[in-house]
Structure 1
Amino acid sequence: MPERSGKYHSRRTGTYYTPAEIADYITKKSIGAWINERAERTSEMLTSVRVLDPAVGNGVFLLAAAEQLLQQRCRLTEVKDTGQLRGSILSTNLFGVDLRENAVQECRTKLASWAQKTSHELPRSSLQEIVQRQIRKGNSLVGSANSNGQQSNTFKESCNEHRPIISSMKESTSNPLSWSKEFPQVFKNPKPGFDIILGNPPFGNILTSFEKEYIQRKYDAALFGGRRGTWNIAAHFLARANALLKEGGEIAFILPNSIMRTKQFSKTRAFLAGKLGVWMIVDEGSPFQDVTLEMVSVFCSRSKSQKSGIIVMSRRPGIHIENVMPRSTFQDGGIAVLYHDDLFDRVVHKGITGHISATRGRDIPSEHVSENRSDLFSVPYPSSGRSVRRYRFDRKYFKYAEDSYLDEQNLQETKDSRFLLATKNKAYPRCVLKPKGMIHGGGVVSIAVHNQKMNPKVLGLILNSRMIRYLCVRYLTNYSKLTTCLNTGIIEEIPIVYPDIQRPYIALFEFLQNLHRMDSHSQEIQRTIESLDRIADALVYELYLGVGSTLVEKLDEKLENRDNQSNPFQTANSMISEEISKRVKEVLNNSEVLQIENSPKMGN
């Protein structure tokens, strides 16, 4: 076989070449699903199948499709000499489009080389003619694409159809593709469209103004607009694939996994679950070398029932889970909880969402910030995520802002307020209560509480708990390690179970925050912090899972009977009694809690 392990990627064009092993897997699954939906599995059926990669790149998906079709046809016909079959597959089954000339030429060369791997080679002139006809240069997103047969018959008619925006095309490099003109064998027949559309579409906010205008005017699926919509190009490749797909067809794309969980892709998820009929999602982890993207393979079908659950498989290292996710979990555009289970259902039913939200801090120009505190630069400014820890600030990473700059930029209210802060680029919250006299930068988020009955200190203890870490890591970010930002919808989706008895939560939060300000080298203080952390985690486990039922009452009794001791260390230690420790141990040794503690990504 031709060498297919492209490592090329380009941020400018949003392209990341796919490892051959993943392309083989996706292609085998999608072609297999298409075949399994057909009652008669014959060589003639495979002769007519039309496979498209709309962002063909180096041709890795079409090469995988060529091999799969060759194997299937050999199996059905018992042909040993594959020369004619290769030529037939190349000339009738495979179609590709790319905007970049170098990608088109590379794909053509590799497909021609694949077809010549036989003793009965096609003439080179014939091969060149075939690959030039089947692999075309153009913009897959722009140009008439209506798989119901109502196509413009000529390029002139296509231009007339788009005359309201044709003037902008003259200044555009969008290279609109007339699908019926380039692939008449696919669209000029009673059943137009492709049977299988697969590939690795580009990703990122790289659409031109012309492309956006075209999508707004011509696409049925409006995946853009508002906080729940996106102009990320990958989403619109899904919409385009749907328009090009034949009834009963299959779509299989590898996509960044942020499509499964961030707010801007809410409309895209609803489209996947509804219109596209997604039936399987495979968590691929981080398959691309030197690229900070985590991916999922998404399989959709026009022929499968949309009432059944969605199969979830993990190929992520260290996560060996096969699951069935209820379609309802993201049919309305909510987070696609790939690792859904009964525990998640119970917690969601018990808690409430949407009562807290996260907002990224303000970046201040460098000329108004200093590494060192002075009379001019006097306002503490934690700007990086490393400056915020659980219950404390790490002042090694502090900067200091110019006080006069805050007045000009309306930041004085932020400075004069107290609220929870958390690290932005983290899969789960790491919270501290911001004092007055401080502002925060872009690597930190403020947590707004939208229910006046909720105490920020109670929420801080809950958000810092191991229970919430598990909910975020497993369910709300799908075990993602990269590009997880708390201000992209994660915080809003955390189910908050708010306690009836709040005093122990407030006290523990205050104790832990005060103790973290004390001598960090004191082993006695560190032991106390560890003990209080265990109590806090047990308290939240009890609240969320209903394991045990008396810890919160016993802690409340302790606090009610305590002396008004001014030393937070002594007050905190008074809570670590033998009776409390026994109840904490009972909670933490519960089988469900142990299962959480021993699950992936829960290490300290």
Structure 2
Amino acid sequence: MPKRSRRFHSRKSGVYYTPEEIAEYITRKSIDAWINGQNQRDSEMLTSVRVLDPAVGDGVFLLVAAEYLLQKRCELNQAEDTGHLRASILSTNLFGVDLRKDAVRECRMKLVEWAQRTSQELPPSALKEIVERQIRKGNSLVGSTNSNKERGNALDGSTNKHGSSHSAMKRSSFKPFSWCEEFPDVFSNQKPGFDIIVGNPPFGNLLTSSEKEYIESTYDVALFGGREGTWNIAAQFLARASSLLKLDGEIAFVVPNSIMRTKQFSKTRAFLAGRLGVWMIIDEGSPFQDVTLEMVSVFCSPNKPGDSGIIVMSRRPGIPTKNVAPRKTFQDGGIAVLYHDDLFKKIVPKGTTGQISATRGRDIPSEYVRVNKSDGFSVPYASSGRSIRRYGFDRKYFKYANDSYLETQNLQKTKDSRFLLATKNKAYPRCVLKPKGMIHGGGVVSIVIHNRKMDSRVLGVILNSRMIRYLCVRYLTNYSKLTTCLNTGIIEEIPIIYPDIPEPYVSLFESLQELYRIDSPTLETQRKIESLDRIADALVYELYLVEGKSLVEKIDERFKHIDNQRNPIRTANDIISEEISKCMKQVLSNSVVLQIENSPRMDA
């Protein structure tokens, strides 16, 4: 377990303090990248480098930077570790800003302690004066940088497009942080800005309306707006960092991994791959204890060529540790596929994305719902994702909704329709066909089919398959385990390959749905279900990976001689023939199929 800073997280403020192991790697890597990018490497270079953490917290990133710069300066100058050298690093190399007074106080205290670790050459009062100058309280996102990268001066009192002046906003809403006044040595020279910007900015929808108005009217990059934009504060910190950075600088942030995959961060991904020049991403997994969040570390060099692949490294146990992802997957605004490989490159052109989407159900107020069915509360209500299983329902999680309430809320059409449902909070689809007379809630999504020629039962077999599970788990959610919602863009990105011979899929879906409906299946019935499931998986594997249609043709021929109205168990007996079993085994023994079956997260 990596060391963690003393105050770990605050959900209210969106602040989660960084494990020291991650902060150390990010900061050292960024400093090394900056050094390697300098034409002249000498003592003056390290003396003048400026490192900023714009959401400094308790100072873990700056403490790493201080120690690493001390090491580098001692090596380069063959100097001794002295109190004066440490004070020099504090006064010239390190800068921090935070909105919270207690964070600023703690960061200053830790930096003073660091400066006094080996020597008492300077009195505490002198060190205190230095850190008070270098670590400032303020709102990093609001206030002029005096940079031509920003549209105008935020403090000039001009009126923005909403009709309110910035000076009025200053008086009524917040105090802008003037970077030029707070850090004059950084912004009053020929090359203004910071060389290295690192940190773990807060995240979540935390911005006030005034802050949003300021950002909208002054930032030169709009990561907000529309379904592909976001007001998540982490994205705005990326935008802000770009305006504070020197042309040859480095940015490295820890951000939520949802930035890599959800629709609302499409503009952010394009910004990362384009203007920010992201060159490496580390999948950190779940670094925060007792927090349901997964993170990535992004390393950016805006001045480097932007046509190369992006290095991807993983800290997830059992996951491939190094990969190279094409920059184009980011620039197009689609899901950033961190674990991109030749198989994904092969599958995507064969299918079509955007054929389906997922829409979250509506939550019904508790006063109109009962746990047990009764007079006036008779409509089955699948409110929880746990009520949805592959090809079936788990009715112990059902509730019952008020009949008259549905009519007043325009839910009658939903009740009277048949369509695919899936669990919302899942990395991959788990589908069942909703019958008429039922409604679903917020923990469940309906699968909307945009191509009228596609049969929902055919798509049900495809979406319930292990092939699609693998596509979603590895490529579309980047092995994420937490906060994966199918209605955030995952479903739309599934490349659908619709079969030329759909009838076997329809028959298999109907048979499986009937069999999964049995509450207490016998051992024989359970075996039939498993056999049909394997056949369905083999069909989809053949569809996506295998040249030829041997299996689907054999099953189609078999179904033509079966009465579709027969008992599903007898149907299963007729389908599971020696010929079909042999063909199925050939598909399942395909080398790529075996690779998929033995991949992480496929065994559960």
Q: Pick the TM interval, shorter chain.
A: over 0.9
Matches within 5 A, 1:505-584: 505-546=505-546, 549-563=549-563, 565-584=565-584
Q: Name 1:37's counterpart in structure 2.
A: 37
Structure 1 CA distance, aligned partners of 2:425 and 2:564?
A: 40
Letter in 1 for 2:171: K
Letter in 1 for 2:572: A
Q: Name 1:90's counterpart in structure 2.
A: 90
* TM-superposed deviation, 1:317: 2.0
* TM-superposed deviation, 1:592: 0.7
1:350-398: per-residue Cα shift (whole Å, max 9, x none)?
0000010000000000000000011210100000000000000000000
Structure 2: gaps of 5 or more residues: none
Q: Percent identity?
A: 74
Whether the 8 Å CA contact 2:149–2:243 is kept in 1: the answer is no
Secondary structure of the residue aligned to 2:229 is coil
* TM-superposed deviation, 1:320: 3.0
Distance of aligned partners of 1:378 and 1:302 in 2 relative to their CA distance in 1, 3 Å threshold:
same
Are 2:157 and 1:160 equivalent residues in the alignment?
yes
Q: Name 1:233's counterpart in structure 2.
A: 233
Matches within 5 A, 1:69-148: 69-148=69-148
Are 2:12 and 1:12 equivalent residues in the alignment?
yes
* TM-superposed deviation, 1:303: 2.5
Q: Name 1:588's counterpart in structure 2.
A: 588
* TM-superposed deviation, 1:541: 0.4
TM-score, reference length from structure 2 = 0.97
Are 2:360 and 1:329 equivalent residues in the alignment?
no
Q: Name 2:258's counterpart in structure 1.
A: 258
Whether the 8 Å CA contact 2:361–2:446 is kept in 1: the answer is yes
1:560-591: per-residue Cα shift (whole Å, max 9, x none)?
12245521210122100011111111111111
Whether the 8 Å CA contact 2:95–2:134 is kept in 1: the answer is yes
Which moves more between the two structures, 87-96 or 540-549? 540-549
Distance of aligned partners of 1:519 and 1:286 in 2 relative to their CA distance in 1, 3 Å threshold:
closer
* TM-superposed deviation, 1:39: 2.5
Whether the 8 Å CA contact 1:149–1:190 is kept in 2: the answer is no
Secondary structure of the residue aligned to 2:202 is coil
Q: Name 2:308's counterpart in structure 1.
A: 308
Structure 1 CA distance, aligned partners of 2:177 and 2:283?
A: 32
Structure 2 CA distance, aligned partners of 1:182 and 1:148?
A: 18
Whether the 8 Å CA contact 2:141–2:240 is kept in 1: the answer is yes
* TM-superposed deviation, 1:71: 1.1
Distance of aligned partners of 1:182 and 1:494 in 2 relative to their CA distance in 1, 3 Å threshold:
same
Letter in 2 for 1:168: M
Whether the 8 Å CA contact 1:357–1:448 is kept in 2: the answer is yes
Are 2:173 and 1:183 equivalent residues in the alignment?
no
Are 2:482 and 1:482 equivalent residues in the alignment?
yes
Secondary structure of the residue aligned to 1:203 is coil
Letter in 2 for 1:90: L
* TM-superposed deviation, 1:216: 0.8
Q: Name 1:47's counterpart in structure 2.
A: 47
Distance of aligned partners of 1:150 and 1:142 in 2 relative to their CA distance in 1, 3 Å threshold:
closer
Q: Name 1:27's counterpart in structure 2.
A: 27
TM-score, reference length from structure 1 = 0.97
Letter in 2 for 1:166: S
Letter in 2 for 1:220: D
Distance of aligned partners of 1:255 and 1:501 in 2 relative to their CA distance in 1, 3 Å threshold:
same
* TM-superposed deviation, 1:13: 1.1
Whether the 8 Å CA contact 2:150–2:243 is kept in 1: the answer is no
1:140-191: per-residue Cα shift (whole Å, max 9, x none)?
00000244599999xxx9353577133233332x332000000000000110
1:513-560: per-residue Cα shift (whole Å, max 9, x none)?
001112533111100000001000010000001256300000000011
Query: Runs (4+) of structure 1 moved beyond 6 Å?
Result: 149-153
Letter in 2 for 1:464: N
Structure 2 CA distance, aligned partners of 1:146 and 1:532?
A: 67
Whether the 8 Å CA contact 1:149–1:191 is kept in 2: the answer is no
Q: Please give the root-mean-square deviation of Cα atoms over the aligned residues, in Å.
A: 1.6
Structure 1 CA distance, aligned partners of 2:82 and 2:353?
A: 59
Structure 2 CA distance, aligned partners of 1:433 and 1:519?
A: 17
Secondary structure of the residue aligned to 1:298 is strand
1:167-224: per-residue Cα shift (whole Å, max 9, x none)?
233332x332000000000000110000000100000001011100101110111111
1:233-287: per-residue Cα shift (whole Å, max 9, x none)?
0000000000100010000000010000000101111111111111100000000
Whether the 8 Å CA contact 2:157–2:166 is kept in 1: the answer is no
Are 2:292 and 1:292 equivalent residues in the alignment?
yes
Whether the 8 Å CA contact 2:197–2:241 is kept in 1: the answer is yes
Structure 1 CA distance, aligned partners of 2:341 and 2:92?
A: 44
Letter in 1 for 2:192: P
Structure 1 CA distance, aligned partners of 2:564 and 2:11?
A: 60
* TM-superposed deviation, 1:5: 2.0
1:100-133: per-residue Cα shift (whole Å, max 9, x none)?
0000000000001101112353111110110000
Give the count of matched residue pairs: 598
* TM-superposed deviation, 1:427: 0.1
Secondary structure of the residue aligned to 2:281 is strand
* TM-superposed deviation, 1:82: 3.1
Q: Name 1:200's counterpart in structure 2.
A: 200
Whether the 8 Å CA contact 1:4–1:60 is kept in 2: the answer is no
Secondary structure of the residue aligned to 1:282 is strand
Structure 1 CA distance, aligned partners of 2:143 and 2:189?
A: 19
